[in-house]
Amino acid sequence: MVLYSFLFAAPLLWMTLSAFKGNDAIFDKPFALPKTYNFKVFIDAWKIGGLGKYFVNSALITTISTLLVLVVSSLAAFAFSRFQFRGSKQILTFFTIGLLLPIQAYFISQNKLFDFLSLKDHRLTLVIPYVGLGIPLATWLFKAYLDSLPKELFEAARVDGGSDFILYRSVAAPLLKPGIATVAVFTALGTWNEFLLAMIYIQNEEYKTVPIGLLTYSSRYSTDYQMLFAALTVVTIPMIIVYLAFNRQIVAGLTEGSLK
């Protein structure tokens, strides 16, 4: 497991160390350690690339998308898991299709729809597709966990006069905390790093996200790799912190509901 983990950690470490080397050193001796460690390079990368506005846009879009995915998918999973209603299996099939189809399969139709509704080039333009992409997986994860919970918990709350919403808020939601942490981190990572939709739907410089903002360090004929690696290191740190902060909840959320 240590060796396996190193395969994922090594590129991040190499990226960070490369930020302390000039472009020539990166190409001449890519795996050599830097001769000096000037942390001012990260401040320069932030200022030169104007990462501040991109960071704010990404943080706003990621936060809103993640919250909407959590609310919508947890409510949907609760309905699928605890209620018997006509067409539930057919509706659940649509969520399965959402897991199977890649975005390239419906991107042209989605793009035409966004053009028709004039939804492009806004700070919240990306929230709609990101929420749509995140709901299927989140719903299935929440449903699998809710299916593993004893029915007696919900029946007892029902006997005490609890409505459907009370059952969701007071019984299901507190028990879903490990799953919520898992879904939140996965959704945040996917939203923060998404590139294709952000590049096509957002043309206004003020609304671009971090992945598109990183193109600032590349021109048609050259790329400032030192600044690019420094910027990549800076924008990667928030997601690493989020993952480390919720690491235990993520593991618990992935394993809860796997056994009955």
pLDDT (tens, 9 = 90+) of the chain, 260 residues, equals 888 888 888 999 999 999 999 888 888 888 888 988 888 999 998 998 888 999 999 999 999 999 999 999 999 999 888 888 888 888 888 888 878 888 888 888 888 888 888 888 887 789 999 999 999 989 988 988 888 888 888 878 888 777 878 888 888 888 888 788 888 888 998 899 899 899 989 988 889 999 998 888 887 777 889 999 999 999 888 888 877 877 776 666 555 544 44
Question: 106-141: buried (b, 16+ CB within 10 Å) or exposed (e) per residue?
Answer: eeeebeeebeeeebeeebebbbbbbbbbbbbbbbbb
Cα 213 to Cα 11, 128, 182, 196, 222: the distances in Å are 21, 21, 28, 13, 16
Evaluated on CA atoms 216, 220, 222, 225, the torsion sign reads positive
**CA-based Rg of the chain, rounded to a whole angstrom?**
22
Coil, strand, or helix at residue 91? helix
Q: In Å, how far from its chain's centre is CA 82?
A: 28
Coil, strand, or helix at residue 223? strand
As assigned by CATH, the class of the 56-213+247-255 domain is mainly alpha
Instruction: Determine the Cα–Cα distance for residues 259 and 233; give it in Å rounded to an integer.
Output: 39
Q: Which residues contact 32 (CB under 8 A, 6 or more apart)?
A: 21, 25
Cα 46 to Cα 43, 55, 123, 214: the distances in Å are 5, 10, 21, 10
Please give the structure tokens belonging to residue 58: 């990404």
pTM of the model: 0.83
